[in-house]
Amino acid sequence: MTSKHIYVLNGPNLNRLGKREPGIYGSQTLEDIGALLTKRAQALGCTVEMRQSNHEGHLVDWLHEAEDKGAHAVLLNAGAFTHTSIALLDAIRAITAPVIEVHLSNPHTREHFRHQSWVGQAAKGTIAGFGANSYLLALEAAATL
């Protein structure tokens, strides 16, 4: 594994990107975003490993795996788990690999319940509100860590 291998973990319903509320989340699919990330990562001298699950435990396991395999960083769009998961908060705190929280939309301009981020309490930083570009901006940040 290269010294700049970056995990990109995606939570619930992100497999529906391109179909789910395109006015909020855009028309690009998760596969489209993955292709953009792969291309940009190559230019930055990084590699990315993109994964998605609708199950909280998978995200916890993958955070642990990223640490155990020496990942340079993790980009995490935890979807709705951002606002509900103490398990993800604990998993981020249990690893030393920096985690960057990513959101397509800006949670602070949406429903009140989205204003609380458990993930953000342990993340190195948060990038939100720029659509698919949020992922690219987070990758740029991760590459410079």
- Please tell me the pTM assigned to this model: 0.91
Inform me whether the pLDDT recorded for 14 exceeds 70. yes
- Tell me which residues are annotated as active site: 25, 103
Domain range spanning residue 136? 5-144
Residue 40 sits in a domain whose CATH number is 3.40.50.9100
Model pLDDT for residues 27-60, shown as the tens digit of each residue: 789 999 999 999 999 999 999 999 999 999 999 9
- pLDDT value of residue 106: 72
Q: Is 48 exposed, middle or buried (0-12, 13-18, 19+ CB in 10 A)?
A: buried
Inform me whether the pLDDT recorded for 114 exceeds 80. no
Number of domain units in the chain? 1
